[in-house]
Amino acid sequence: MRKVADCRETPSVAGCTLTISGEEDEVVRAAVEHAASVHGHADTPALREQVRATLADETPAGRYGTVMIATLTGDYDALLTACRDWAEQRRADGFLVEEVMRADDGRTVVACVWFSDASAYRRLADDPEQDRWWSERFAPHLTDVRWIDGAWAAAKHRSPAPQIPAATPAS
């Protein structure tokens, strides 16, 4: 099973947001190198064991989350500001990314919100402070809200274009 090391799960003065995923030994090696070069820790056996103990299993496609589909009845820019404020101010454990789309009809809004795992998402969903944020900042702009929660089973990304060697100057 692939593993994940996520700096957001261990708050630091730097506010680091790096996430590393891969096979366990790879992640430990990379996370320890990062902890030493960025956070100033000494690369010791104790640090390696501490990092190994904090690794989480990577969920399918590395994410769990929710998709919200709603009708926009308020100010779209205010909704986007609320999304940015939420990410910056709430700093929810396990939150990875949120993407918001306004459909071509101008009224349908779709938001995908990803978390590191289902338990992080559920902790947020059960948090009364989250309900307050939703009621005060998001709900005034939306109606007919539907939520779909689950694990992302597959992720496909466009492969990068092959690297073309630089031309050699003629001699």
Question: Is position 116 within any domain?
Answer: yes
The whole-number pLDDT of residue 160 equals 52
pLDDT at 68 over 60: yes
Q: What local confidence, expressed as pLDDT, does residue 168 receive?
A: 54
Confidence of residue 21 (pLDDT cuts 50, 70, 90): confident
> pLDDT tens across 124-159, in order?
999 999 999 999 999 999 999 999 999 876 655 444
Q: Do residue 147 and residue 66 come from a single domain?
A: yes
Q: Would you state the pLDDT for residue 96?
A: 85
Give me the domain span that covers residue 69.
61-151
Count the neighbouring beta carbons within 10 Å of the beta carbon of residue 54.
15
First CA to last CA across the chain, in angstroms?
53
40 is a domain residue? yes
**Residue 4: phi, psi to the nearest 5?**
-130, 135
The pTM of this model reads: 0.58
Domain shared by 115 and 40, yes or no? no
pLDDT at residue 60 in the model: 57
Structural domain contains residue 168? no
